[in-house]
């Protein structure tokens, strides 16, 4: 029991520094993140359009499985848009609360 108490006192003395910006305020990382975010939104838009096409082809060709997969893909593409749109503000909020 004494060893546990001494181990906990050693662990309590370890510093917990706040996160620091390793880029020194460079705009390169921000530019890269904005390109990735736009790329993800474009991918979601393409997926939504393809899903709409799958629903139409599935209904017109009497293939209900294709129409159902199109519906599912459309919902997931909308979920991807929402996740992409809130990802960076969410991460900023979490790290802002931790710092």
pLDDT in tens, 23-63: 776 777 778 888 888 899 999 999 999 999 999 999 999 88
Give the pLDDT confidence of 60-98 residue by residue, as tens digits.
998 889 999 999 999 999 999 999 888 878 877 876 665
Kindly list the distances between the CA atom of residue 89 and the CA atoms of 29, 46, 85, 86, 95, in Å, as whole numbers in the listed order. 15, 24, 8, 6, 10
| CA distances, 87 to each of 39, 80, 82, 98, 99 (Å) | 14, 10, 8, 17, 18
Q: Is the pTM of this model over 0.75?
A: no
Hey, where are the domains in the chain? 38-93
């Amino acid at each position: 029991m004494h060893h546990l108490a001494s181990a906990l006192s050693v662990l309590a003395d370890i510093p917990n520094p706040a996160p620091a910006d390793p880029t020194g305020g460079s705009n390169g990382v921000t530019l890269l993140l904005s390109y990735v975010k736009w790329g993800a939104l474009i991918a979601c838009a393409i997926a939504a359009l393809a899903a709409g096409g799958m629903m139409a082809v599935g209904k017109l060709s009497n293939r209900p499985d294709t129409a159902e997969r199109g519906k599912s893909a459309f919902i997931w593409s909308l979920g991807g848009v929402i996740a992409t749109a809130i990802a960076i503000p969410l991460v900023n909020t979490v790290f802002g609360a931790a710092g």
